[in-house]
A and B are shown apart, each in its own frame.
Chain A
Amino acid sequence: MFDLERTIETWRQQMTDAGINAPVPLDELESHLRDAVDEQMRLGLSEERAFEAASRQIGHAGELRSEFEKVSTSDLPWGQKFGDRYAAWGFACFHGFYVIVVTCLLLRFAFFSGHERAMGFAALAATLLAVFAAWQLIPRVLPMIGNKRIESAIVSACVVSGGVWFVFFVRFVLPRFEFTPGGLRVAILWAMIPTMVTVTPTFFFWGRKSEHPENSAIAS
């Protein structure tokens, strides 16, 4: 005697065994399966046949797992925000290198007073915060533009404006003030914040890839 509840339990176990073990997608798939079974039965199939048809419609557990894996990979902040892990690693290495260089600079040279050193680390922390904010914001804004040429123009404008700002600062702002050797370097670190932020879209743009292949599994 066919027992629908037990069969759905077995189906759920098969999905779990295949690796679809997060409760949310599994609950959602089960809800879909039950709707599909109801529909098939309404069309006149027996409970058993309705289940067979519905589970076939949902798809093979292995293929589903593979598609969900792609999502869970892209759910990782790096993957999601930048689309490509290499770009994310490039982004992390770039900023990691900057942190190491600045930290070494601040700790190694004796011409920094205690106050300047603290201001230097504050500048470094502010840079990382600003970069993090840009990293959160850019993937939400940039893909909405929908025009690759405009996107690349924006990215280029960001990079150029970051460079122009830094040159302007060094050429026109710094000479107006008198700095101690440590103070000068700390001022440069603060001035680097906009420049470092404007580099972020470059990594995003580099990491973006066509999303269509990701969705191609849905084609029947």
Chain B
Amino acid sequence: MYNATMIRKELVAASVEPLILALLAGGESYGYAMIQELKARSKEELLWTDGMLYPVLHRMEGKGLIKSRWRESDSGRKRKYYSVKEGGKRALKAHREEWAMIHRVFTGLIPI
């Protein structure tokens, strides 16, 4: 059975940025919620080390792909919310085309 531990680090690393952009394309979110959503959507097959998400988010913010703001949640806890900037939307579109192309070629060669 294929599981998360079998996904190579390089592939996980390559997919982090597009996945974050895709998660944020649905609306602003914060780190913990993003990890939970990814877990749920991948049926816990794609797992990130929680803390390591933040350096990636900060790097993406530095690159102008996303922006952040602190705000108080309904529970009263202060959280840093991230949202996609225009640059991030363009990057997501480029990622989507790349991944779709790879998927198309791969499944054409070896039907899944």
Interface residues of A (CB under 8 A from B): 24-25, 27-29, 31-32, 34-36, 39, 57-59, 63-64, 67-68, 70-71, 74-75, 80, 139-140, 143-147, 211-220
Inter-chain pairs besides A25-B58, A28-B80, A220-B4, 4 sampled, C-beta below 8 Å: A28-B54, A57-B50, A57-B51, A215-B56
13 A-B pairs, CB-CB below 8 angstroms?
Answer: A29-B54, A31-B77, A36-B32, A36-B50, A57-B51, A74-B62, A80-B62, A213-B13, A215-B13, A216-B12, A217-B52, A218-B12, A218-B56
Q: Are A212 and B31 also in contact (CB < 8 A) when A58-B51, A64-B51, A218-B48 are?
A: no
Does A140 contact B12, Cβ atoms closer than 8 Å?
A: no
Top 9 nearest A-B pairs (CB, nearest first) are A146-B94, A59-B51, A219-B12, A67-B55, A220-B47, A216-B13, A215-B13, A35-B32, A58-B51
B74 at the interface (CB under 8 A from A): no
Chain A residues with CB under 8 Å of B59's CB are 70-71, 74, 211, 214-215
Interface residues of B in 60-85 (CB under 8 A from A): 62-64, 77-80
By a CB distance below 8 angstroms, the chain B residues around A146 are: 91, 94-95, 97-98
Once bound together, how far apart are the Cα atoms of A140 and B59, in whole Å?
Answer: 13
Residues on the B chain within 8 Å of A64, using CB: 51-52, 54-55
Query: Does B54 lie within 8 Å of A144, measured CB to CB?
Result: no
Cβ-closest chain A residue relative to B98: A146
* Distance of A51 from chain B, by nearest CB (Å): 14
In the assembled complex, the Cα of A27 lies from the Cα of B56 at a distance in Å of 16
Q: Contacts of A34 on B, CB cut-off 8 Å?
A: 77
Distance between Cα atoms of A216 and B53 in the complex (Å): 11
Bound CA–CA A115/B94 (angstroms)? 51
Min Cβ gap A217→B in Å is 5
Distance of A107 from chain B, by nearest CB (Å): 39
The interface residues of chain A lying within 8 Å CB-to-CB of B79 are 31, 35
Q: Which of A63, A145, A220 contacts B94 (CB 8 A)?
A: A145
Interchain CA distance A211-B10 in the complex, whole Å = 10
Question: Is there a chain A Cβ closer than 8 Å to B90's Cβ?
Answer: yes
Contact assessment for B80 and A212 in the assembled complex, using a CB-CB cutoff below 8 Å: no
A220 to B52, CA, bound (A): 9
Complex Cα gap A167–B61 (Å): 41
In the bound complex, how far is the Cα of B51 from the Cα of A220, in angstroms?
A: 11
A159 to B79, CA, bound (A): 46
Given known A-B contacts A31-B77, A216-B9, A219-B13, A59 and B50 have beta carbons under 8 A apart: yes
- B14 sits at the interface (CB 8 A): yes
Question: Separation in Å of the B24 CB from the closest CB of chain A?
Answer: 16
Q: Which of B36, B49, B94 contacts A217 (CB 8 A)?
A: B49
Q: Chain B residues near A31: list those with CB within 8 A.
A: 30-32, 77-80
- CB < 8 Å neighbour of A32 from B7, B12, B32, B56: B32
